[in-house]
């Protein structure tokens, strides 16, 4: 087991490095010049200033040297200085990550808490109305564009019905809590500021539902398919023949076996939620990593792009690792193979 984990960790590091290399090469083939984007019109036209700017960010070095420098810094935990915000990328990420983390986690919990039972129920009562509901939910979730869904939700529940609060993490006039973790729910709870906690929670409702929809659809479909397969296995028939109660059969025999693919999917879905909240964050004016990533890409902010690549790659690889390890626990055969 330890050797298994060790070898997996090693490949993980290689994977992360490879993905940063790929993104580095792709980013460098873009014809745009980050210096010209970041500088004002006057400065950008002064060759001396452009040269100084390029030197400041190491953009004048040969490509391999730039990448080498990135790796060297990465090892020391230094992600460089962002060209567009002009401060350490790490500071930017520390600022933006909590908003995304909070949103993605709530969305993830939502998609599991709703998607899993819905999938099981849809499988158990195949072709009943609940199955049709599940199908509709997953169809909408998977196929409706997030951007559209976000606007519709906002227009209906905020614009028309006035049930939900508007964009942003907090009401315009409420003061944000002192920063401890940057996660508003946790920070307000730690400080006992329940009014702001309530405000933050309410602001999370719409965006987390929107963000959860796609994942929710996938979780429901996968759970349903896996459950159907498990329910048709011989051991279920044996269990029934022994006269076990249905609940025991579903929860004790079929579900654990159906969970494997769901766990894989769930892990990747969580990583995806963390990395892919751009649209939701845009519509809901959510100050998160998604928007930061988008802006970094648009402004060809190399240090930020590289840092985010490294982090996202690391998150995916780690989640994958965690999933595989949980496999090993759920199904001991995995390590023996």
Interface residues for other proteins in 260-279 (CB under 8 A)?
Answer: none
What is the C-alpha separation between 245 and 200, in angstroms, rounded? 43
Please report whether residue 231 would count as binding other proteins according to CB under 8 A: yes
Phi-psi bin for 81: left (phi > 0), alpha (psi -120 to 50), beta? beta
Q: Whose Cβ is closer to other proteins: residue 122's or residue 311's?
A: 122
From the centroid of its chain, how far is CA 124? Answer: 30
Please report whether residue 51 would count as binding other proteins according to CB under 8 A: no
Q: What is the pattern of x (binds other proteins, CB under 8 A) and - over residues 57-96?
A: ---------------------------xxxx----x--xx
Q: Which stretch binds other proteins (CB under 8 A): 2-10, 68-76, 265-273, 298-306?
A: 298-306
What is the C-alpha separation between 283 and 167, in angstroms, rounded? 7
Q: Whose Cβ is closer to other proteins: residue 2's or residue 42's?
A: 42
Please report whether residue 252 would count as binding other proteins according to CB under 8 A: no
Residues 135-154 that bind other proteins (CB under 8 A): 151, 154
Using CB under 8 A, which of 11, 22, 32, 132 touches other proteins? 32
What is the C-alpha separation between 31 and 27, in angstroms, rounded? 9
Please report whether residue 164 would count as binding other proteins according to CB under 8 A: yes
Using CB under 8 A, which of 167, 325, 328, 334 touches other proteins? 167
Q: Whose Cβ is closer to other proteins: residue 50's or residue 311's?
A: 50
Q: What is the dihedral of CA 100, 143, 327, 2, to 10 degrees?
A: -40
Q: What would the DSSP string read from start to end of 219-284?
A: HHHHHHHHHHHHHTSHHHHHHHHTT--HHHIIIIIIHHHHHHHHHHHHHHHHHHHHH--HHHHHHT
Q: Whose Cβ is closer to other proteins: residue 96's or residue 108's?
A: 96
**Count of Cβ atoms closer than 10 Å to residue 7 Cβ:** 10
Give the nearest distance from C-beta 261 to other proteins in angstroms: 18
- Residue 310 · residue 293 · CB < 8 Å: no
Give the nearest distance from C-beta 44 to other proteins in angstroms: 6
Using CB under 8 A, which of 63, 145, 285, 330 touches other proteins? 285
What is the dihedral sign for C-alpha 161, 165, 168, 173?
positive
Please report whether residue 306 would count as binding other proteins according to CB under 8 A: no
Q: Which stretch binds other proteins (CB under 8 A): 10-18, 29-37, 137-145, 212-220?
A: 29-37
Give the nearest distance from C-beta 32 to other proteins in angstroms: 3
Buried b (16+ CB within 10 A) or exposed e, 59-98: beeeeeebbeebeebbeeeebbbbbbbeebbeebbebbbb
From the centroid of its chain, how far is CA 40? Answer: 34
Only one residue has tokens 């390590």, namely 335
Using CB under 8 A, which of 21, 202, 225, 263 touches other proteins? 202
Residues 116-135 that bind other proteins (CB under 8 A): 117, 121, 124-126
Please report whether residue 250 would count as binding other proteins according to CB under 8 A: yes
Using CB under 8 A, which of 5, 36, 142, 318 touches other proteins? 36
Give the nearest distance from C-beta 53 to other proteins in angstroms: 10
Please report whether residue 292 would count as binding other proteins according to CB under 8 A: yes
């Amino acid at each position: 087991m330890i050797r298994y984990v060790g070898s997996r960790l090693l490949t993980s590091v290689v994977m992360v490095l490879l993905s940063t290399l790929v993104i580095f090469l792709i980013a460098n083939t873009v014809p745009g010049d980050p210096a010209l984007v970041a500088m004002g019109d006057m400065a950008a036209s002064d060759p001396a200033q452009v040269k100084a700017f390029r030197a400041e960010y190491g953009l004048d070095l040969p490509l391999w040297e730039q990448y080498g420098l990135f790796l060297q810094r990465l090892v020391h935990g230094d992600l460089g200085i962002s060209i567009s915000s002009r401060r350490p990328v790490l500071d930017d990420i520390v600022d933006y990550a909590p908003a995304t983390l909070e949103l993605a986690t709530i969305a993830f919990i939502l998609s599991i808490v709703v998607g899993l039972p819905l999938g099981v129920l849809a499988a158990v009562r195949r072709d009943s109305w609940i199955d049709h509901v599940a199908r509709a939910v997953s169809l909408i979730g998977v196929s409706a564009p997030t951007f559209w869904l976000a606007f519709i939700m906002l227009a209906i529940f905020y614009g028309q019905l006035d049930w939900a609060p508007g964009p942003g993490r907090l009401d315009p006039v409420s003061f944000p809590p002192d920063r401890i973790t940057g996660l508003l729910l946790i920070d307000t709870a730690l400080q006992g500021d329940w009014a702001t906690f309530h405000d933050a929670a309410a602001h999370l409702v719409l965006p987390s539902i929107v963000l959860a929809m796609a994942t929710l659809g996938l979780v429901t479909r996968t759970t349903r398919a896996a459950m159907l397969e498990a329910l048709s296995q011989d051991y279920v028939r044996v269990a029934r023949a022994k006269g076990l109660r249905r609940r025991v059969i579903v929860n004790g025999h079929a579900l654990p076996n159906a969970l494997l693919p769901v766990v894989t999917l769930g892990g990747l879905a969580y990583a995806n939620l963390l990395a892919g909240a751009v649209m939701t964050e845009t519509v809901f004016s959510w100050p998160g990593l998604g928007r930061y990533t988008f802006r970094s890409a648009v402004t060809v902010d190399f240090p930020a792009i590289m840092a985010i690549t490294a982090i996202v790659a690391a998150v995916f690889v780690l989640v994958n690792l965690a999933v595989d390890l949980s496999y090993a626990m759920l199904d001991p055969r995995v390590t023996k193979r």
